[in-house]
Amino acid sequence: MFAALLIDIKNSRELSESDRMQCQDRILLALEIVNALLATKLDKKLSISSGDSIQGLFLDTVEALKCFFLIKNLLYPFEIRGSIGYGKINTIEENSTNSKYLDNVNFLDGEAFHRASEGLNICKKNNQNIIISSEDSSNDLIVNQILRTIYVLENMQTKKQKEIQFIFRCFFPYLDSTINLKNYTKITIPIIAQQAKIKDHKIYEDIISEMHESARFGLLPESGIFFAQDPFCKSINAVVAILLNVSRENIRQIVVKGKFNEIRKLEITVVSILNKFKGV
């Protein structure tokens, strides 16, 4: 059983020629970053298809969803929609005439891809940004409703709140402990600097060098029946304030009004549900 991830760019036909070229460049960069970071989580590398679509094959739905979160941020401000289908796939035999396509996800087929394709169509028709489809429809309903709530909360954000959330997520992407957080952030410095209009890379790099693995998020609280602490620690407000040359209070208000912590709590919750019920 595998998890097929399909992603496309929203409203790609409405992009200007220059925006389309920038979007394709960002997709290629995102795939380079993600394929390197998630090499042990992938069964087949993520690949671009039709110019503005992405396909990948994962060992489980959890890693596929984390990948979706990661790509969504790497491609900001371009918006994406995606679908994850969990099931069997039709494989290419190593000794067949088509064996040269063995590692190309675009030449794979089967139940997982069919479910992902159907889910992507549902996303388009119902203005959703991510759907998970497996043989367990009751669990899918719970997971997809949480994902829908995340989408609704993000759509309520102002442009400024989205820009700041982008920076927060670049600092603290949804990656597990096997991924080197400093290496990831160093790779994404050009993207962050461009989007956040940070001219002094040295300031950014100095701040990153002081960050450590204890700043990683992604787990449910070890005890208690709710999140007693916010996933994003308050110290990041000061870091982002320095980068953008604004007050810490300004960032704090953006975080509260933009529901950054509530959104991250829902992301943590939905991943924990998937871990419990498997596809994993």
CA-to-CA distance for 271 and 262, rounded, in angstroms?
A: 14
Residue 191 has pLDDT above 80, yes or no: no
pLDDT at 189: 66
Q: Where are the domains of the chain?
A: 2-156, 159-265
pLDDT score of 250 more than 60: yes
The structure's pTM equals 0.86
User: Once rounded to an integer, what is the mean pLDDT over residues 110-115?
Assistant: 91
> Cα–Cα distances in Å, from 171 out to 58, 161, 167?
25, 15, 6
In which band, very low, low, confident or very high, does the pLDDT at 145 lie, cut at 50, 70 and 90? Answer: very high
Average pLDDT over residues 58-82: 92
What CATH number belongs to 2-156?
3.30.70.270
- Per the rule left: phi > 0, alpha: psi between -120 and 50, beta: everything else, 244 is alpha
Span 125-143, average pLDDT: 92
